[in-house]
Amino acid sequence: MATELQITDWLKQAAVRLQASGSESPKLDAELLLADVLQKDRTWLFTWSDKLLDATAVSQADQRLQRRLQGEPVAYILGYRDFWSLRLAVSPATLIPRPDTETLVEWALELPLPANAQVIDMGTGTGAIALALASEQPGWHVTGVDYSDDSVALAQQNARSNQLTTVRFFQSDWFSQVSGHFDLIVSNPPYIDASDPHLSQGDVRFEPASALVAEDHGMADIQQLIEQSQHVLNDNGWLLFEHGYQQAELVAAALRAAGFADVSSRVDLAGNPRVTGGRWPVTRLA
């Protein structure tokens, strides 16, 4: 049976166990799990570190800790992940939004787009990219599509909870159900090769393989989107991809081969090339 513990003692014990289990952020994991139990923020934990946790709180925190020790991502345990300035509900039906994806959002917001730009997020998942863009550019007409009905429902929920209900989400197998033309297409598509050992490590083990793995050494979906985007981009419209750290040259070459101009890449928080994009020139394919 759980006994009473001071906040600082539970956090120390949990962090030690998490570190031994292989967590890359044991202290942060422990703080997030306990803060969720207490419905407080992490600053509150530091301020009241000597406060005594009753047996119920200790038991609830231990249950969350056990799930994390078994490898389950903290975001799935909590049911949310903060991204950009938004709090997004997550579920095992979608990828967990990651800080590196903010690199794509930052680049998109720097582009010289019309004030009423037409923007679409392909494979939107939780809606993270689409909603982040809409939160910064309320004049843009932002759409997100996903093959998974569960993902679409979750993205719609996140739009409501963040009061960004002008963003439209619907089900589509890439562009199959999409009409119209766009000034910007963004995507964090599946880009991991099926034989990549990272698929059996860390949080990725719990995320949907369909949102992670692509054929042709991880390039199949990226190549398909490049080919289809040419027909729906407005003159001088942009296409931006998140991709694997080792794929920047391949993605850039594919964009140039398709006729895109101003092709370049941006690095993520760790300094790895993570986002590559290009501009579709004035002459558009019919």
Q: What is the pLDDT along the chain (286 residues), one digit of tens a residue?
A: 567 889 999 999 999 999 998 888 999 999 999 999 999 999 999 999 999 999 999 999 999 999 999 889 999 999 999 999 999 999 888 888 989 999 999 999 999 999 999 999 999 999 999 999 999 999 999 999 999 999 999 999 999 999 999 999 999 999 999 999 999 999 998 755 555 555 445 665 555 555 544 455 667 889 899 999 999 999 999 999 999 888 899 999 999 999 999 999 999 988 999 999 999 997 644 4
CB–CB of 192/214 below 8 Å?
yes
Q: State the pLDDT at residue 22.
A: 86
CA-to-CA dists, residue 98 to 20, 46, 65, 126, 128, angstroms = 24, 25, 21, 11, 9
CB–CB of 132/84 below 8 Å?
yes
Record the tokens describing residue 256, joined without a space: 């140039």
Q: State the pLDDT at residue 210.
A: 53
Beta strands, E only, the chain: 5-6, 52-53, 80-83, 86-89, 118-122, 141-146, 168-171, 182-187, 233-242, 261-267, 273-279
The structure tokens 């050992």 sit at: 197
Alpha-carbon distance of 286 to 114, in angstroms, equals 22
Q: Which of 229, 243, 211 is nearest to 95 (CA)?
A: 211
**Domain spans, the chain:** 5-71, 95-279
Q: State the pLDDT at residue 286.
A: 46
95-279: what CATH class? alpha beta
Q: State the pLDDT at residue 214.
A: 47
Same fold, 5-71 and 95-279: no
Instruction: Please list the helix, strand and coil fractions of the chain in percent, rounded to the nearest 5, in that order.
Output: 45, 20, 35
Q: Which pTM does this prediction carry?
A: 0.87
Among 1.10.8.10, 3.40.50.300, 2.40.30.10, 3.40.50.1980, name the CATH number for the domain at 5-71.
1.10.8.10
H-state helical runs in 70-195: 74-78, 102-110, 128-136, 149-161
Q: Which residues pair with 131 in a beta bridge?
A: none
Alpha-carbon distance of 277 to 279, in angstroms, equals 7
Q: State the pLDDT at residue 24.
A: 85
